[in-house]
Homo-oligomer: A and B are copies of this chain.
Amino acid sequence: MRVGVIGGGQLARMMIPEAIAMGIEIKVFAEAEGMSASLATVNVGDYTEAEELGWFADGVDVLTFDHEHVPTSALEQLERVGISVQPPSKALVFAQNKLFMRQRLSQAGLPMPAWLEVQTPEQLNEFISSQGGKVIVKTPIGGYDGKGVRFVSSADEVSDWFSSLNKLGGSLLAEQLVDFESEIAVLSARRPSGEWRAWPAVETIQKNGVCSQVLAPAPKVDQQQALDIAKTISKELGVTGVMAVEMFQTKDGQLLINELAMRPHNSGHFTIDASITSQFEQHLRAVLDLPLGSTEMTADYAVMVNLLGVESNTNFLENFEATMHRFPEAKIHTYGKSPRPGRKMGHITVLGDDLETAKSRALLAAAVISGS
């Protein structure tokens, strides 16, 4: 069995150990030499070029992704010649284009913040008024980790986006600013032949638009309701592989869909150390249409904290040893990247039977390793 992964970042990297364990061969199509996943057989090339991807796909059973940026047209070309692309382009398009996603999920009657497709500053200003003076504006394509997202009180604050509207897909997406109690993510996986399994919904804590902590399971959420939403999306959109659904939980307990990702996701890193089957193993099983593994947790709670590069600490591994010494229970993961401020360098997971203890140990361990 052979899987080709497009994209050489840490998500591809973290598929490698699981592929090794199961005896699945993995090949990575990376954007550049020396990337995070370069320990697997790596081809380096331009992922927007269908022909290069076609050569890469030769001899693999399925193509899948570390990111959502491969153009639909390129994927469709590959699918036309019989290459298995999972998730398929017809599903992936809803993770690539946030406006398509809002339209499609509205059709399916799923709960979302109020939203509007806007093409002119006038439309946006009117929506801002109707939403109490402040909204979120997103570029439909290309955004991630807070990029392509702005909180605005006036259309003037995205005048640069309006003036390059064609490049951004012809429209912007304006969304209600939800006054949420917490942010929730549901990780699930689906096979092309239909089997679906989810991990418990988790709470995610963001800092500056980037995931900072994950508490698993989410301490206060209606698990059944959260998982039902994810299941409906998977089936309605024909998603395969691992999918993350990020939601807002309002003060009155309503769940509103925020974003979708159709690949392993930062909010699921806890599954490596705290679940029978990790999101990376499950993704490989799912895209190969193999039976899915148990998503049961092996601990009552798990807390994951991201390790971000910081200015004052160009070598954040300096404190590796001190962290190992003080936190023998901490699972320390690093991605083999050169540090840059704000860059995801690794993560730490701590398991426990008490959420508060696990959280404080994980935060402290992350602080020690980051030298902060």
- Band of interface residues on A: 35 or more
Q: Evaluate whether A291 and B325 lie within 8 angstroms (CB atoms) in the complex, with A17-B16, A20-B39 already known.
A: yes
- Across the interface, which residues of B come within 8 angstroms of A346, CB to CB? 23
Q: Which of A126-134, A237-245, A330-338 contacts B (4 or more CB under 8 A)?
A: A330-338
Q: Mark A285-310, 1 if CB is under 8 A from B, else 0.
A: 10000111110101100000000000
* Chain B residues with CB below 8 A from A335, complex form: 23
B39 contacts A324, CB within 8 Å? no
A298 & B296 in contact (Cβ 8 Å cutoff)? no
Residues facing B in A309-348 (CB within 8 A) are 317, 320-321, 324-325, 328-329, 331-336, 346
A195 and chain B: residue at smallest CB distance: B325
Name the prevailing secondary structure of the A interface residues. Answer: mixed
How far does the Cβ of A130 sit from chain B's closest Cβ, in whole Å?
Answer: 48
Set B276, B331, B336: member contacting A331, Cβ < 8 A: B276
Copies in the complex: 2
- Determine whether A262 belongs to the interface, using a CB cutoff of 8 Å to chain B: no
Q: Given A23-B333, A23-B346, A293-B324, list of 19 further CB < 8 A pairs? A: A17-B17, A17-B20, A17-B21, A21-B331, A22-B333, A22-B334, A23-B335, A23-B336, A39-B39, A197-B328, A276-B351, A285-B324, A290-B320, A290-B324, A291-B321, A291-B324, A291-B325, A294-B329, A298-B298
Residue numbers of A with Cβ under 8 A of B are 13-14, 16-18, 20-23, 39-40, 197, 272-273, 276-277, 285, 290-294, 296, 298-299, 317, 320-321, 324-325, 328-329, 331-336, 346, 351
A-B contact pairs, 13 of them (CB 8 A): A14-B20, A16-B17, A20-B39, A21-B333, A21-B334, A22-B332, A22-B334, A23-B346, A273-B276, A276-B329, A291-B324, A296-B329, A298-B351
Kindly list the 3 A-B residue pairs having the minimum CB-CB distance in the complex, ordered from nearest: A17-B17, A23-B334, A291-B324
